[in-house]
Amino acid sequence: METLMKSLEITVKEKMSALAGTAHSFEHVRRVVQIATFLAEKEKADIELVQVGAVLHDVGWAVGQPQNETGARLARGILKELDYPEEKSVKVVRIVLYHPTDLRNKTETLEEKVVWDADKIDLLGALGIARGFHWYGKKPFDATVKTSFEVYAPI
């Protein structure tokens, strides 16, 4: 598992290098992996699937929009190159595909929900506020508020 994660981190960090200094940099990925691992341990989720899904969840930002779909395709290819088992790859690809905020209701497995939550938890606190200013800085204030309420106070 350790060798797999190191290989994934090297590959994903390289692919995401153009995103350094942005809200979706590899530093965000590292934090999501840490948060997801903590949640997976508490919730008794499959830690391997959670960690692999978390490290790959934003790789699509390096390719193009829609980032979850491009990320899912890229994740499938990366996992195939690493000879990751197909039955696990399918589960990881779903984690990547359904991690965006607006797809919360599409998550089915505990592992999908753990990575979804970990990604959103990284939006909290001072660092999350800074990421929010960066990410939403070019969007209208009303859109930012609406998105925040959809994530944190769903009706």
User: Encoding tokens for residue 84?
Assistant: 């990751």
Could you tell me if 68 and 96 are in contact, meaning their C-beta atoms sit under 8 angstroms apart? Answer: yes
CB burial of 6-38 (b: ≥16 within 10 Å; e: otherwise) equals eebeebbbebbeebeeebbbbbbbbbbbebbbe
> Higher confidence at residue 66 or residue 64?
66
Count CB-CB contacts under 10 A for residue 49. 22
The pLDDT value given to residue 138: 63
> Higher confidence at residue 123 or residue 31?
31
pLDDT band at 155 (very low <50, low <70, confident <90, very high): very low
Q: pLDDT tens, 67-124?
A: 999 999 999 999 999 999 999 999 999 999 999 888 899 999 999 999 999 999 987 7
Residue 149 has pLDDT above 60, yes or no: no
To the question of pTM greater than 0.85 for the whole model, the response is no
The pLDDT value given to residue 122: 87
User: Encoding tokens for residue 20?
Assistant: 């350094």
